[in-house]
Amino acid sequence: MPAVKSGGGRPQAYKLASGVRVPGVTTITSRFKEAGGLVHWAWSLGIEGKDYRKVRDEAADAGSFAHDWIEDTIHERPLTEFPHAAPELLARAQTAVDAFKRWRDQVKLEVVETEVPLISELHRFGGTFDAIFRIGGELHLGDWKSGNRIYPEHVVQLGGYSLLLRERGTEVVGAQLLRVDKEHASFSHFGWPKSVLELGELTFLRQRELYDLDARLKRVAT
């Protein structure tokens, strides 16, 4: 892949031109995250006599390694070293990286930008998208996650980034989400059209409004 133009890492805070601090995309969407699935997962493990904390830590390893290695590959840098990791977990992670590379080569993926922080003066929020991909001559919003499934909040996050890009003057035709399973580090790819991004944008704008209303209510209740 060609050289990547990077924004230099994620900022600690997002501020408007006036200096006023505003929330980030993930801060806003996390406020409205659905926690039911996580609770059910922990309950199911308890029924089986397993400690969800131990399972969580062990399962996260392979997926986390793969996530970091795919990110390293996208940025064209040496793979992060995990000297104390179990060999079988690293082997799973390598399998995921190999699967990503096959997909990358198949679609002739070009990475245009990575981790560029942006601010919306119009909607008063900030965000740092993972990447912009070019596939078949068209721009796509790129994102990668480690987890056992795709959640609605992922689409909402992408909608927030899409709004930031449009305000900057960049239009994308859709989104490419790369997911690595936590336990087995299996790689999967989800391509969403513009219509899905528009749904995410609409939902994000509603959450942005509710975020401020929720903050006002908390001040009243304290």
Supply the pLDDT for residue 55: 54
110-114 and 21-22 as β-strands: parallel, antiparallel, unpaired? unpaired
Mean per-residue pLDDT for 83-111? 93
In DSSP notation, 88-119 reads HHHHHHHHHHHHHHHHHHHHT-EEEEES-EEE
Domains in the chain and their CATH numbers? 32-216 (3.90.320)
Least confident of 18-32, 99-113, 171-185: 171-185
137 exposed, middle or buried (CB, 10 Å; 0-12, 13-18, 19+)?
exposed
Supply the pLDDT for residue 6: 45
pLDDT band at 3 (very low <50, low <70, confident <90, very high): very low
Supply the pLDDT for residue 131: 95
- Under 8 Å between Cβ of 110 and 2: yes
Supply the pLDDT for residue 28: 95
pLDDT band at 72 (very low <50, low <70, confident <90, very high): very high
**How many percent of the chain have pLDDT more than 90?**
64
